[in-house]
Structure 1
Amino acid sequence: MADSDHSSSDGLSVDSRDTSQDSKLDFSEDEETLITRMYNLVGERWTLIAGRIPGRTAEEIEKYWTSRYSTSQ
């Protein structure tokens, strides 16, 4: 019985890893608004902005911002 439980949890971990990577860049509307407002106030201080959004890292915020508002044209 333990073997069948182990194999099913193994499949779940692979699936959850897949979705967690996608959800990292899925920001709620409130988060997007807060990021925009904070960016307008403090600029590219990603650590400061991430400190206002629980569960988000500065790297995630910066990646979101650059993918959304890239100015490298």
Structure 2
Amino acid sequence: MDSRRRRRQAKVARCESEEVSSIEWEFIDMTEQEEDLIYRMYRLVGDRWSLIAGRIPGRKPEEIERFWIMRHSEEYAEKRKLRRT
């Protein structure tokens, strides 16, 4: 019984993660084909980023989610405008 408790505590400890400020994120550049696929997949499956990333070779779910957040967030709208000029 004691060993079970230790294993459970170890699992809980591993699940804790450090939060990272979104201000520090770099912009993710996607090709037009990747963007199109992300939009179409999002309409089909919602925010299941790992499923969407599985359809785009070389992309991680975190990158897809970050791209989506930056593209649809008001916070990043001004930064996108400045970046284009």
Structure 1 ranges of 4+ moved more than 6 A: none
1:50 pairs, out of 41, 47, 53, with 53
Stretches of structure 1 that go unaligned for 5 or more consecutive residues are 1-21
TM-score for the superposition, normalised by structure 2: 0.54
Number of residues paired by the alignment?
A: 51
TM-score for the superposition, normalised by structure 1: 0.63
Aligned position for 1:33: 36
* CA 40–71 in structure 1, closer or farther in 2 if over 3 Å, else same: farther
Percent identical pairs in the alignment equals 60
SS in 1 for 2:33: helix
Which residue identity does 1:58 align to in structure 2?
Answer: P
Pairwise CA RMSD of aligned residues? 2.4
